[in-house]
Chain A
């Protein structure tokens, strides 16, 4: 069943709140929201490192958070005090943010909003295919001078 425009907007707002809560609670630095937009052209909006979560149950689609290495480095420095994290650490951080942001949305949407374990990748993987029947909403955010994209695709 296709998500209605009202449901889609409401779900996107839940993700925005979840992202804001993540940064505020863990870093005491608020994230700022730039103007969100619907993505209609082909291709994905990506930064260097991405954590993607599949959504099933009462909504179907995906959400991902994509940012450059420097943002993840700053977060890892705050969380565990490492100055030069490995690529593996950066990918792990990308996956964990996506997991927490998506999982927190279940506070409002309930247990039938089912999420996968994160899929993490660097750059643009050639085998990544996004279904044609999803509407894609891009939310650019700024945290600590770093830009990241929260991208939500729902059928």
Chain B
């Protein structure tokens, strides 16, 4: 599984990277804003994208629209500090497959990726 990490915080990008080391995941890149992320999605076609919302330039929700247009099979997991329900619903409505509220610790990430990967295996086993 090939992963793109998108967050304007370099510390946050490295937290996600560090906590996913034990998974069978290849991190194919990291982006610090939505514009950079869309470019990388077009070039690399990652299987999974972790996507922050509050970022300079193009925010995560606008970026999600672009990702869904150019690479609709990408599984996008939103990881954001914006803890209101409306933002979560909007992201899911736009095509996000998962949603995590910051602050996220190792357990939160593990559970979210376990769910995402389990869903992927279930889907593959049906074919």
Q: Tell me the A residues contacting B by CB distance below 8 Å.
A: 21-22, 25-26, 76, 79-81, 88-89, 92-93, 95-96, 99-107, 109-111, 113, 115, 117
CB contacts (< 8 Å) of B87 on chain A: these are 106, 111
CB contacts (< 8 Å) of B103 on chain A: these are 21-22, 25-26, 100, 104
- Asked if A81 and B80 make an inter-chain contact with CB atoms under 8 angstroms apart, the answer reads no
Contact mask B68-109 → A, CB, 8 Å, 1/0? 000000000000111110110000000000000111010000
Q: How far is the CA of A80 from the CA of B20 in the complex (A)?
A: 12
B10 at the interface (CB under 8 A from A): yes
With contacts A26-B103, A117-B54 known, is A96 near B12, CB below 8 A?
A: yes
Q: How far is the CA of A79 from the CA of B105 in the complex (A)?
A: 9
Q: How far is the CA of A92 from the CA of B14 in the complex (A)?
A: 12
- Chain B minimum-CB-distance residue to A88: B10
Q: Tell me the B residues contacting A by CB distance below 8 Å.
A: 8-12, 14-15, 18, 54-56, 80-84, 86-87, 101-103, 105
Additional pairs, 16, CB under 8 Å, beyond known A99-B9, A101-B81, A104-B81: A22-B103, A25-B105, A80-B18, A89-B11, A92-B9, A96-B9, A96-B11, A96-B12, A99-B54, A99-B102, A105-B83, A106-B83, A107-B83, A115-B82, A117-B8, A117-B56
- Asked if B83 and A92 make an inter-chain contact with CB atoms under 8 angstroms apart, the answer reads no
Q: How far is the CA of A92 from the CA of B15 in the complex (A)?
A: 13
CB contacts (< 8 Å) of A117 on chain B: these are 8, 54-56
CB contacts (< 8 Å) of B81 on chain A: these are 99-104
